[in-house]
Amino acid sequence: MADMTLTKTPIAEQPPEERICNFKEVSLGYTAEEAMKEAGRCLNCKNKPCTTGCPVNVRIPEFIAKVAAGEFEEAYDIIKSTNALPAVCGRVCPQENQCEGKCVRGIKGEPVGIGRLERFCADYMMNKTRQAVKPTPNGHKVAVVGAGPSSLTVAGDLAKLGYEVTVYEAFHTAGGVLMYGIPEFRLPKEIVRKEIKSLEDMGVKIMTNMVIGKVLSVDELIEMGNEAVFIGTGAGLPRFMGIEGESLIGVYSANEYLTRINLMKAYKDGYQTPILSSHSVAVVGGGNVAMDSARCAKRMGAEKVYIIYRRSMDELPARKEEVHHAVEEGIEFMVLNNPVKIYGDENDRVKSIELLSMKLGEPDESGRRSPVAVEGSEHTLDIDTVIMALGTSPNPLIKSTTPGLETNKRGCLIVDEANATTKQGVYAGGDAVTGAATVILAMGAGKKAAAEIDKYIKNRSAEQNL
Amino acid sequence: MFKIVRKKQLNDQVVLFEIEAPFIAKKAQAGQFIIFRLDEHGERVPLTISDFDREKGTITIVFQTVGASTIALGRLDEGDCISDVAGPLGVATEYDSNIKRVAVIGGGVGCAIAYPQAKKLSSMGVQVDLIAGFRSKDIVILEDEMRAVSKDLYVCTDDGSYGTKGFVTDKLKELIESGIKYDEVVAIGPVIMMKFVSKLTEPYGIKTIVSLNPIMIDGTGMCGGCRVTVDGKIRYACVDGPDFDGHKVDFDELMKRNNAYKTIETEHLCRLTGGKRNG
């Protein structure tokens, strides 16, 4: 009989006043006892609605049953069989819109803490050394461009099938947004490194400092004997608002601000990358990236940090837990506000931002009520830093150097239902296709692309052998 | 890791490195740049490629030891390695095949980047007048190299200790006024120099290309830190540039943005000498 407690087993967290002074992980994770107790809340439904909500189809009730029985290693293996990066997903997936959103227990009370359990299993196995199983090579080569969540999923899935996979990364470090975007306090980089290491142990080759499109073209990758190429180049140039004052000193894109902190470790002693010190910060946007930026700014020492969002609290696209944590950490939400101008001081450093109040009107094409400006409601807020977290447009490098690769008007690569691009043998997934989205959606796309690449190469070699 | 195979101190503050980077050497073209990261603690710093040798698989960079990272870089010797070098980044400079005569202008360490442009132009059969400006005689670099790729080389020094006394703009004006018809002017050097060269050529209607070097992090079109205003629009030096039409660049804004971390830089320098660290 399932444990019918209506709420999730509480999880230990660093208290807000403590954690805003460090970059250590906020959520401390379940103990084995807590995990088993939480796993006991699962009803093990026959039709498994949770699983349908998972972009990488983790067999959720199965792994939870193993956790409940204390068989953590077995639970981990079930997750890992469909999910290349469980320690990452357990931490950063928007579970409330996916698995947990479909959980029957959520109808009356809180859903089962699936994300927390996934994380528990991954962390439990993190320090266990297991002999890496190197699959038998199948004699086929695939190149993967980019080393973010979609690319790593493709690499892992294809390596498992025996492909010789080389991942080309433009930065000095693999991981993509997991390294440069998501902060340490939400996703410790050591975990990302370990997940990548496990791919390398499986035989995946990772080449850093390789800017594909510049140093090698996609066509050259094919000439080098790769039978298929996967493009997972992720987010590109940040969006700005096009308002006056965006070139002032102290206006950052979230990409730049987060990269300085997360990838380049500007928050750590001994690292050379500088970052401006801020007393009062306005973060424009309401997604996960906005929350990450705001919470980083707080940790970097800002006394006041505001989220400026043009809709209301109900429409914030960020993960619920991030909003909750941000509120706890003293981030002030100035919702129903839209920036119109940024003012600078005599040194061209940001001094203040002019906002216009908004109200909610009719639903727009996204189904959310659209913000409408309240005339004459201009007001200013004194700040010294602005972080624009408005999304990105896909990276232009590959498209501009690969003939035959088509993009839509937003610059996103066009793919069919098999994740195949308009160029034969070239597949794509993640933000390069969808525009800014989530880690798990990128992984879902990677999973699908890997299966399709496998099919494509096997069909092709079957035809050639006829 | 990227090995330094040759080091040459060009003057007190300017160092030349030839680096083993076979993939980059194969593709590099005049106008493109690399991003280096010295070691795990280093920042990512862009440097324009000064020369390349496709057979040897090497690229050459020339840099001034002005900030913490370039000072540390300059301390390396032949045989040492740089942790990361990514490139070739940016769009290669493109010239109209009909051009006959071009004035290439280099300012200080910018001469190291003006040099490959002059080299490329002369290989296209274009007549190159090279104007190289320095503060004084003791910091003149690459004179022989520049002479070899130009029809005429005019060295100018601010203090008159070598060549003609005066700024590059004085010499350029003199040449234009003497009736020479330039199809293009290429100016590479301090922002202030590029600004005044562009100001000078505008009334004459001479197309002027400048190579910008704003603050960058990734250099691949991701962070947006290198944005510059060109013709009233945001452009990114890493993927849209680094070359832009000098008559359309907002140089004043670029100068201010390039100074954004100046106080922090100073603290970094202090730290290298045992001082206190910022942040």
Reading chain B (279 residues) residue by residue, the pLDDT tens digits are 999 999 999 999 999 999 999 999 999 999 999 999 999 999 999 999 999 999 999 999 999 998 889 999 999 999 999 999 999 999 999 999 999 999 999 999 999 999 999 999 999 999 999 999 999 999 999 999 999 999 999 999 999 999 999 999 999 999 999 999 999 999 999 999 999 999 999 999 999 999 999 999 999 989 999 999 999 999 999 999 999 999 999 999 999 999 888 866 665 554 444 433 333
Give CA–CA dist A143/A224, Å, rounded.
9
Which residues in chain B touch residue A264, judged by CB atoms under 8 angstroms apart? 43-44, 217
8 Å CB contact between B205 and B212: no
Is some CB atom of chain A closer than 8 A to the CB atom of B272? no
Give CA–CA dist A339/A329, Å, rounded.
23
Verify cis geometry, omega within 30 degrees of 0, for the bond prior to A135: no
Compute CA distances A156 → A119, A199, A429, whole Å: 19, 6, 15
8 Å CB contact between A261 and A286: no
Out of B89, B222, B257, the one facing A247 most closely (by C-beta) is B257
Which residues in chain A touch residue B224, judged by CB atoms under 8 angstroms apart? 237-238, 240, 253, 255-256
Is some CB atom of chain A closer than 8 A to the CB atom of B44? yes
User: What residues contact residue A369 under an 8 Å CB cut-off, 6+ apart?
Assistant: A311, A315, A360, A361, A362, A363
**Neighbour tally for A133: CB within 10 Å:** 9
According to the model, what pLDDT value does residue B276 have?
33
Give CA–CA dist A370/A359, Å, rounded.
8
Q: Determine the distance in angstroms separating the CA of A252 from the nearest CA of chain B, rounded to an integer.
A: 7
Check CB contact under 8 Å for B239 and A240. no
Chain A residue whose CA is closest to B28: A215
Residue B227's φ and ψ, nearest 5 degrees, are -65, 140
Check CB contact under 8 Å for B225 and A256. yes
Compute CA distances B199 → A23, B130, B165, B192, B250, whole Å: 48, 19, 21, 11, 12
Out of A249, A269, A397, the one facing B220 most closely (by C-beta) is A397
8 Å CB contact between B17 and B95: no
Q: Which parts of chain A register pLDDT below 70?
A: none
Is some CB atom of chain A closer than 8 A to the CB atom of B92? no
Check CB contact under 8 Å for A397 and B265. no
Is some CB atom of chain A closer than 8 A to the CB atom of B56? no
**Neighbour tally for A285: CB within 10 Å:** 24
Kindly list the structural domains of chain B, giving each domain's residue range(s) and its CATH number in brackets, ordered by start: 2-89 (2.40.30.10), 101-211 (3.40.50.80)
> Which of A314, A310, A352, A304 is CA-nearest to residue A335?
A310
> Which of A425, A389, A229 is CA-nearest to residue A316?
A389
For residue A384 the two structure tokens come to 């010294």
Out of B37, B223, B256, the one facing A256 most closely (by C-beta) is B223
Check CB contact under 8 Å for A208 and B220. no
Is some CB atom of chain A closer than 8 A to the CB atom of B182? no
Which residues in chain B touch residue A170, judged by CB atoms under 8 angstroms apart? 86, 218, 220
Residue A350's φ and ψ, nearest 5 degrees, are -55, 135
8 Å CB contact between A442 and A176: no
Is some CB atom of chain A closer than 8 A to the CB atom of B66? no
Helix (H, G, I), strand (E, B) or coil at B153: strand
Which residues in chain B touch residue A218, judged by CB atoms under 8 angstroms apart? none
Which residues in chain B touch residue A273, judged by CB atoms under 8 angstroms apart? 43-44, 217
State the best of A21, A168, A172 to mutate against chain B, taking most chain B CBs within 10 Å: A172
For residue A419 the two structure tokens come to 């994740």
**Neighbour tally for B277: CB within 10 Å:** 11
8 Å CB contact between A194 and A86: no
Strand partners, A193: none
User: What residues contact residue B20 under an 8 Å CB cut-off, 6+ apart?
Assistant: B2, B3, B4, B5, B57, B58
According to the model, what pLDDT value does residue B261 have?
87
Stated as kind and residue range, the H or E segment containing B164 is: strand B164-165
Which residues in chain B touch residue A211, judged by CB atoms under 8 angstroms apart? 86-87, 89, 220
Q: What is the ipTM, given to two decimal places? A: 0.91
> Which of A341, A350, A351 is CA-nearest to residue A249?
A350
Q: What is the pLDDT of residues A444-455, one digit of tens each?
A: 999 999 999 999
Check CB contact under 8 Å for B87 and A215. yes
Check CB contact under 8 Å for B264 and A274. yes
Using left for φ > 0, alpha for ψ between -120 and 50, and beta otherwise, residue A382 falls in beta
According to the model, what pLDDT value does residue A183 have?
96
Which residues in chain A touch residue B261, judged by CB atoms under 8 angstroms apart? 274, 276
Compute CA distances B24 → A231, A284, A290, A401, B64, whole Å: 21, 38, 36, 16, 22
Q: In the Cβ-directed half-sphere of A92, how many Cα atoms lie within 13 Å?
A: 33
Tokens 């990548």, residue?
Answer: A196
Q: Determine the distance in angstroms separating the CA of A212 from the nearest CA of chain B, rounded to an integer.
A: 9
For residue A62 the two structure tokens come to 């199965």
Q: How far, in whole angstroms, is CA A393 from its chain's centroid?
A: 16
8 Å CB contact between B15 and B65: yes
A453, A454, A460, A463 alpha-carbon torsion, rounded to 10°? -150
Give CA–CA dist A290/A395, Å, rounded.
20
State the best of A145, A211, A350 to mutate against chain B, taking most chain B CBs within 10 Å: A211
Q: Which residue stretches of B84-209 are H helix?
A: 111-123, 143-148, 168-177, 191-201
Question: DSSP letter at B107?
Answer: E
- Contacts of A127-132 with C-beta under 8 Å, sequence gap 24+, read A128/A73, A132/A198, A132/A201, A132/A202
Give the count of Cβ contacts less than 8 A between chain A and B: 122
Give CA–CA dist A371/A360, Å, rounded.
5
Strand partners, A354: A341, A380
Give CA–CA dist B44/A52, Å, rounded.
43
According to the model, what pLDDT value does residue A255 have?
95
Round the CA-based radius of gyration of chain A to a whole number and report it. Answer: 23
Check CB contact under 8 Å for A272 and B223. no
State the best of A23, A263, A271, A272 to mutate against chain B, taking most chain B CBs within 10 Å: A272
Which residues in chain A touch residue B23, judged by CB atoms under 8 angstroms apart? 210, 215-216
Report the relative pairing of strands B152-157 and A369-373 from DSSP bridges. unpaired
Is some CB atom of chain A closer than 8 A to the CB atom of B229? yes
Give CA–CA dist B91/A274, Å, rounded.
27
Q: What is the pLDDT of residues A307-351, one digit of tens each?
A: 999 999 999 999 888 999 999 999 999 999 999 999 999 999 999
According to the model, what pLDDT value does residue B279 have?
31
According to the model, what pLDDT value does residue B275 have?
37
Q: Determine the distance in angstroms separating the CA of A324 from the nearest CA of chain B, rounded to an integer.
A: 27
Q: Determine the distance in angstroms separating the CA of B264 from the nearest CA of chain A, rounded to an integer.
A: 7
**Neighbour tally for A451: CB within 10 Å:** 16
Q: Which pTM does this prediction carry?
A: 0.93
Give CA–CA dist A262/A242, Å, rounded.
27
Check CB contact under 8 Å for A300 and B279. yes
